[in-house]
Amino acid sequence: MLKLIRAFLTAGVMENGLVGPVDEGTPQGGPLSPLLSNFVLDELDRELEQRKHCFVRYADDCNIYVRSRRAGERVKRSITGFIARRLKLRVNEAKSAVARPVERKFLGFSFTGAKEPKRRIAAKALMRFKQKVRELTVRTRGISIEQMTKELTSYLRGWKGYFGFSETPSVLERLDQWIRHRLRSVIWKQWRRGKAAKLRQRGVLGKLATNAAGSGHGPWRMGNSPAMSYAFPNAYFDSLGLPRLLVGK
């Protein structure tokens, strides 16, 4: 086991196709960090169990749940001292705090402030999700909507597999609507000419097609228009294999 750990630590990192040495630490994003954390912090788990604390830990990220802020401050001081004295480790004070669960996040999740708390996706995780979707659905990428949807599908499946356990379905439903809104705006942007004819081909008839084609509004506004919503309903994106984040929709 020690030989395997050493091999990981001395394997180096690849940058721009070249392997460089690592002087200290573990490679970012590698599987070794959580493994070593479990080795070293097993003693912390036992200490918390002995004290009968409610806690959850993943690698070096740990939350301890107590009944009051006063108890939280006391436990924080005590456990910080235990980690420093017994395990010879330093707690990151900048990332550590005593706060209500609704104010903190853990592995991308947080809790609602309701009487019966529910799991919700943390604000920063939602921001990262939206940023990634924006990158994949830039209207000037110059690729077909089918190819764009294929790339987006790959990302959404992985994200849904992790965050789909959220207990706030309204958030997932709004994200589904937002994603399809973006895709419709991409299609509108790609239709440089003959918009009325293309809308009619998609079943939009009469003044609805004519008025939409003659609109001076931009792609984002038109992506949510009645004409585009009728021409490209959710079923259209379902046919392209785009997954829905809200299960059952």
Beta strands at 13-15 and 18-20: parallel, antiparallel or unpaired: antiparallel
Is 66:73 a contact under the CB 8 Å cutoff? Answer: no
pLDDT given at position 249: 54
Q: Which of 86, 85, 63 has its CA nearest to residue 76?
A: 63
- Contacts by 2-8, CB closer than 8 A, 24 or more apart: 5/32, 5/35, 5/36, 8/32
Residue 20 CB-density burial (10 A; 0-12 exposed, 13-18 middle, 19+ buried): exposed
**Lookup: tokens for 13:** 């990192």
Provide the β-strand partners of residue 120.
Answer: 110
Residue 27, phi then psi, degrees to nearest 5: -60, 135
pLDDT given at position 21: 77
What SS3 class is residue 13?
strand
3-state helix, strand, coil in the chain (%, to 5): 55, 10, 35
pLDDT by residue, tens only, the chain of 249 residues: 889 888 888 887 777 888 777 777 776 777 788 888 888 999 999 999 999 999 999 988 999 999 999 999 999 999 999 999 999 999 998 989 999 988 999 999 999 988 888 999 999 999 999 999 999 999 988 899 999 999 999 999 999 999 988 999 999 999 999 999 999 999 999 998 999 999 999 999 999 999 999 999 999 999 999 999 999 999 999 999 999 998 765
pLDDT given at position 186: 96
**Lookup: tokens for 75:** 């436990």
